[in-house]
Amino acid sequence: MTATVTDQDVLESRSPATGELLATYPVDDATAVQAAVERAREAAGWWRDLGFDGRKSRLQAWKHTLVRRIDELAGLMHDETGKPLDDARLEAVVAIDHLGWAAKHAAKVLGPRRVPSGLIGINLAASVEYQPVGVVGVIGPWNYPILTPMGSIAYALAAGNSVVFKPSEHSPGVGVWLADTFAEAVPELPVFQVVTGFGATGAALCQAGVGKLGFTGSTATAKKVMAACAETLTPVLIEAGGKDAAIVAADADLDVAADAITFGAMGNAGQTCVGIERAYVESAVFDSFVEKVKVIAEGIQIGTDEQLGPITMPSQVPIIQRHIEDALANGGRAVVGGPESVRAPYVHPVVLVDVPEDSEAVREETFGPTLTITRVDSLDEAVRLANGGKYGLGSAIFSRSRKTAMDVARRLRTGMTSINGVQSFAMVPSLPFGGTGDSGFGRIHGPDGLKEFTRPKAVTRHRFKAPTRPLTFTRTTKDVVNTLKLLRILHGKG
Ligand code: NDP
């Protein structure tokens, strides 16, 4: 959607492809956001007290609604972001799968469990459980308007929190639709609400006293969010930008690599946090790899109902243009497209080679259907260059050798790596998703994603009178001597 402000209270939602007015939404100010958080606080206790089973059945009811109405949801995503309908459907499939996983596994991951108390604490029974933080604020981007926020929303809800969600100004309709369908499954209290508006609405959510703030968006906004949250010591989860690299080893299946990497770079018009923006290819297969990518990229169909839709956010178009021009001005060569590929609101595929490592096209997030391909002499060089930037979100390695691929995957300084494919880690609900460096910290998805929206609660129960009583004023010197003896037995040897 292209968002415009007509007056202070209205957010106009327009198709990025045609400019058609889709709907209008309120611009929620700080008072409205605060009121939503207060309502969420009241709902949070009831939702927590439903317990894991009560929440699971309600989340599953919501999941069934989403499955039933998936075409409606995908249509809305298509209208607002311009992404191809099938991409929207597939995104919804993965998001719904995550919702199902979170609902099903929350009890096992977060519920109370006994832990060994050790010999020094032999008289103690020790247990840990993960309690909800209360209200979770979620701020989301527009590029994957259901998958990325669902990574926080579903997991926070399954963990027993209520949620106030601020969707991007470019995809408010998807956010409102999600909250409306949730309310059909859980009509009792406003456990999941949406506030709409621009950046100021998000900023108000950061200052509204939520128990945790889950942010997904650009690194620049992430810094503002952290600064705002610092004022109230509100903990934050940051899922920020990326500049993912793919490495192609000389022994890779080049057809598989070219197919996957071209999709990783151009899919969703390149507007993917874990989009492949750089490829490092071993010298022996460089030319054939470039040729295969060229053929695939040149065959991509562009248009509203085609494989590659418009650039959702008009302000991104000049950034993409600048990266292409900068790369070419600094010695890069375009093997597919060039500056003329930028035809707003569309950007046609651009593949660049020989681009210097210090240029913007290699170092900064482009967020368009572009790919740089760089020749390397060894996998060591590929890993060094891939790890060279400030981001560390996802990555990919293509090799027929499982050992080589695993070795490279472990050495890549990113939160996730896929082998012989791209972005597949996002489809596995039991895997954590998140980055390092300028890509942020904390994790959505999987057991880590559930724990992210909780605080651990440790409990010790004194089962019987201890042989020594170290934490009393009645302890004797002998108690201390006996404890020291135990220490020497346990840890003093070797
Ligand atoms: P932005 O950072 O522009 O916006 C993200 C969200 O923050 C939006 O809802 C935005 O509202 C809101 N916001 C803006 N200003 C503030 C503020 N001062 N305080 C609080 N909230 C604010 O990112 P985009 O929406 O453009 O999304 C693209 C970015 O997201 C890319 O960098 C991409 O890599 C990243 N991303 C990261 C993912 C990950 O998992 N790591 C996944 C998907 C995307 P509004 O839109 O109304 O301005």
Give the Å distance between the CA of 440 and the centre of ligand 1: 12
* Closest to 450 measured CA to CA, from 59, 125, 82, 30: 59
Model pLDDT, residue 9:
82
* Closest to 358 measured CA to CA, from 336, 388, 338: 388
Query: Would residue 38 show up in a list of annotated catalytic residues for this protein?
Result: no
What is the DSSP annotation of 341-404?
A: GEETTEE--EEEES--TTSHHHHS---SSEEEEEEESSHHHHHHHHTTSSEESEEEEE-S-HHH
Cα distance from N-terminal residue to C-terminal residue, the chain: 66
Q: Which domains does the chain have, with CATH numbers?
A: 2-240+444-455 (3.40.605.10), 244-428 (3.40.309.10)
Model pLDDT, residue 8:
61
Residue 231, judged by CB atoms within 10 A of its CB (0-12, 13-18, 19+), counts as exposed
The reply to whether ligand 1 has any atom less than 6 angstroms from the CB of 143 is yes
The reply to whether ligand 1 has any atom less than 6 angstroms from the CB of 224 is yes
> Which residue positions in the chain have pLDDT lower than 70?
1-8
Query: Would residue 239 show up in a list of annotated catalytic residues for this protein?
Result: yes
Give the Å distance between the CA of 195 and the centre of ligand 1: 15
- Which of the residues 169, 206, 229, 273 is marked catalytic? 273
Give the Å distance between the CA of 405 and the centre of ligand 1: 32
Model pLDDT, residue 3:
47
Model pLDDT, residue 4:
46
Of 143, 198, 221, best ligand 1 pocket probe by most atoms within 8 Å of the beta carbon = 221
Model pLDDT, residue 470:
84
Give the Å distance between the CA of 476 and the centre of ligand 1: 60
The token pair at 432 is: 């954590």
- Which of the residues 80, 239, 365, 452 is marked catalytic? 239
The reply to whether ligand 1 has any atom less than 6 angstroms from the CB of 393 is yes
Model pLDDT, residue 7:
52
